[in-house]
Homo-oligomer: A and B are copies of this chain.
Amino acid sequence: MHPEMYEIMNDIKRGIQYIFQTENNMTIAMSGSGHAAMECAVFNTVEPGESVLVGVNGIWGERVAEIAERMGANVHRMVKAPGGYFSNKEIEQAVEKHKPVLFFLTHGESSAGLCHPVDGIGDICRKHNCLFLVDTVASLGAAPIFMDKQNIDILYTGSQKALNAPPGTAPISFNDRACHKMFNRKTKPVSYLFDMTYLSNYWGCDGQPARLYHHTGPVSGFFALRESLAIVAEKGLEESWKKHKEVAAYLYRGLEDLGLKLFIPDRDLRLPSVTTIAIPEGYNWRELLAYIMKHHQMEMTGGLGPSMGMVMRIGLMGYNCEKTNADMALRALADALKNCKKSKA
């Protein structure tokens, strides 16, 4: 609660505005990981009994649906198998049918390796008086997103993916439409800690002359987030997007050379930061991953939630996004494929 800290926080706010490509005044960092931003977005913009529409094509949509259900929203799920995506027509039909106050979509579906298109969806939501909430935890900095241009009403990400900061803070931004909804509620949000009335004051976004004590922020996390934002701003977002795309393409080629099949067939829909590989026929994926961890001290993971047993995942993001790391991953995979026994099935 010192002016010096407020300057740090103001820098963070400006950095988030840049990475989100937004001029929204209501732009802050949550004191928590991506899930804190997820709950903050839903808790503040939805009141009990209101309709919420959630695109579920992996783990993150299901989480938001559960969060909204717990606080008493009337939740409607649009469900696709992991790797599936929603056409704008499907979305508009569902919005017309369920008349939600909020529509949720994951931009970077890390459990499936999908980068969901968002163009045009913000306009559909505006037309139907619905807020458009987008999760970019796994994609921000790795794939282009333009909050203002794409008419996204609420956007959040995490600190520990392509931004390279330690986990524990989560950038989030609300535009005027979202602010209008959340600051004209009949009921108080279920969480005091995540109440944007207080958080907006803590971050100096509410136009009040004084900031009052609300909670103790993770100050070391804020310092780290500020620096990570400064690094992205220095190098430029375009450069970051380009780098992720190039390294991902390099990895795709290497995987295909190993005879592996990418889980997302359409290259334009692949999430550059997290590449998903269809589990090669005859192999036990747990065995492959354990071999790679043991013999190459390298973590690749299996699926997450609904994609469990369907994919193996390689994360190359932020600082870690280099061709030399892709090469290491490819060498480890080649070795594992050679040395892990194929099952007889």
Contact = CB atoms under 8 A, between A and B. Distances in A.
Interface of A: 2, 31-36, 38-39, 63, 66-67, 70-71, 158, 160, 166-168, 188-193, 213, 215-221, 224, 299, 304
Given A33-B31, A36-B32, A218 B166 contact: yes
Contacts of A166: 218-221
A39 B32 CA distance: 14
B70 A304 contact: no
A304 B39 CA distance: 28
Given A35-B216, A168-B218, 10 more contacts: A31-B32, A32-B36, A35-B192, A38-B193, A39-B191, A70-B192, A166-B220, A166-B221, A168-B168, A221-B221
Nearest to A189: B70
A221 to B, nearest CB: 6
A218 B167 contact: yes
A32 B215 CA distance: 10
Contacts of A219: 166-167
Contacts of A304: 213
A215 B71 CA distance: 19
A215 B224 CA distance: 20
Contacts of A160: 216
A32 B32 contact: yes
A191 B190 contact: yes
Contact of A220 (B35, B70, B168): B168
A151 to B, nearest CB: 28
Copies assembled:
2
**Do most interface residues of chain A lie in helix, strand or loop, or is the interface mixed?**
loop
Nearest to A170: B216
A63 B192 contact: yes
Contacts of A191: 39, 67, 70, 190-191
Contact of A34 (B34, B168, B190, B216): B216
B34 A192 contact: no
Contacts of A67: 191-192
Given A191-B191, A192-B66, A192-B70, A216 B36 contact: no
Contacts of A32: 31-32, 36, 193
A33 B220 contact: no
17 contacts: A31-B33, A33-B215, A33-B216, A34-B215, A34-B216, A36-B193, A38-B193, A39-B192, A67-B192, A70-B191, A158-B216, A160-B216, A166-B218, A167-B216, A168-B221, A218-B218, A220-B220
A111 to B, nearest CB: 10
B70 A190 contact: yes
Contacts of A221: 166, 168, 218, 220-221
A191 B188 CA distance: 15
A135 B35 CA distance: 25
